[in-house]
Structure 1
Amino acid sequence: MAVPHRQVDEFGGRDMHKLIDQTVIELARRYPNHIALATSALEKHGDALLIAEKVSTPHLPAKKTKREIAHVHTEGKNVDYSMHAVLSPKDCKEVIEKGWGEKMTLAGTLKMPAEYLMIYTPRSESELKVVRDILEAAIGFMTGAARPLEE
């Protein structure tokens, strides 16, 4: 089920798109016991972070998203490099209040969890750091994984 919900302006450039792709790959490598990088179960194309098969489904939000933690809009008609992610209620509130994202149009319906947000496309490296932190928070919420210590 793909329901268009995309960013309409202020897109990052191609260099930023490459950095976003790299960030998603790096996160998959950073949490190999908790997540897997695969095609989005919800979009049916594009990269997504999913709960690894060996991790049990922790809660209803994970079940509703077919264990998908986040995906980036990199393919299809509406390529904008925004993303959808599932966050804790507390993190959802912070993301929305700080203007980093908004609730997905179907969030809180029978099909989608209330914690399902669209995260805006980062336009700079400082915004990419924020998005990376948001994705790590989503990984933690969806898998229970603690952030690895910085190397």
Structure 2
Amino acid sequence: MASHLSTYIPSLPSNLRSMDTRTASLATIGTLTALTSAYIVRDYNQWVSFGSGGTHPTPSGYWRMTKLRWRAYWSGDDMRDPAPLFNVDGPQFLRGDLPQRKGNRPQILARTMPQRQKPEALTPTVKDRLHAIPAKYCNEHPDILTLDLSKTEGRSTDAIYAKPDLPGRHPSAKDKILGDEIAHVHPAENSLHVWLSGPDAKMVVEKGWGERFPLSAMGMCHPSLVMVYAPKSTEDVDVIEEIVKAGVGYLTGVQI
């Protein structure tokens, strides 16, 4: 019956069918373009708000960081795997074993640079003590340390620097990008970057206190620069201070 009736119903002209197909295709492309544009704008604004990792917060800087992000993604390298640090040179400055960090590791924001975790609420006491670390150690040890704005973070936060040409500095503690910078705290979400010796960096990653730095994994800077997660308690800050002191020892040769 249906096939019989179809002989009485005129079909659409071929040009109208083509117009419908083109309209649908254009609508799909338009929707995808709008969604992609909205994602890029949101991602760009988030990238700027969390710190641009020392790169100029401009569209060209964002494009540069996006290419690094793709490169890191396709490498499949797990920044929480300490295995690449097994043969990294340097003495150990951490005093004894670190305790295992309690709880799950934080969620890391989906980008390579800047390397940041999802923000977690801190008490004012914990936050104030954490952010006081750079000034504290530089004031206590002016013979070996200097406080200045972080070059690796685009001068957006304070950093601990080793004074140059200290005689006790380990020969492996050299890097053209990191220079003399030992550690800094990120204002947006309270994580840190700390430059450690290979054995100390390995222990930090193994015990769950941090993870490797993506550009280090790509061979672009020293392999034992690590991201240390934000503390949750004053006890966590105690451990973080030991980690920072280990970085000071590596770059100055002085155990503090």
**TM-score using structure 2 length:** 0.52
Q: Which residue of 2 aligns with 1:86?
A: 195
How big is the shift at 1:15?
A: 3.1
Q: Which residue of 2 aligns with 1:43?
A: 153
Establish whether residue 25 from structure 1 lines up as the match of residue 145 from structure 2: no
Q: Which residue of 1 aligns with 2:183?
A: 70
**Contact 1:108 1:115 (8 Å CA) reproduced:** no
Letter in 2 for 1:114: P
Helix, strand or coil: the match of 2:132? helix
How big is the shift at 1:60?
A: 5.3
Select which of 52, 57, 64 maps to 2:163: 52
How big is the shift at 1:111?
A: 2.7
CA distance in 2: counterparts of 1:126 and 1:110, whole angstroms: 34
CA distance in 2: counterparts of 1:66 and 1:11, whole angstroms: 32
Letter in 2 for 1:136: K
Q: 1:83 to 1:11 in 2, by over 3 A?
A: farther
Establish whether residue 114 from structure 1 lines up as the match of residue 114 from structure 2: no
Establish whether residue 129 from structure 1 lines up as the match of residue 242 from structure 2: no
Percent pairwise identity: 28
Letter in 2 for 1:69: I
How big is the shift at 1:93?
A: 1.1
Select which of 136, 139, 147 maps to 2:248: 139
Does 21-30 or 97-106 show the bigger shift?
21-30
**TM-score using structure 1 length:** 0.84
CA distance in 2: counterparts of 1:128 and 1:22, whole angstroms: 11
Decide which structure has the larger Cα Rg and report it.
Answer: 2
Helix, strand or coil: the match of 1:48? strand
Q: Which residue of 1 aligns with 2:88?
A: none
Q: 1:11 to 1:66 in 2, by over 3 A?
A: farther
Please state which structure has a larger fraction of its residues in helix.
2
Q: CA RMSD in A?
A: 1.9
How big is the shift at 1:55?
A: 3.0
Uncovered stretches (5+) of structure 2, i.e. residues with no partner: 1-53, 56-112
Q: How many correspondences in the alignment?
A: 143
Uncovered stretches (5+) of structure 1, i.e. residues with no partner: none
How big is the shift at 1:109?
A: 3.4
CA distance in 1: counterparts of 2:157 and 2:140, whole angstroms: 20
CA distance in 2: counterparts of 1:88 and 1:61, whole angstroms: 8
Please state which structure has a larger fraction of its residues in strand.
1
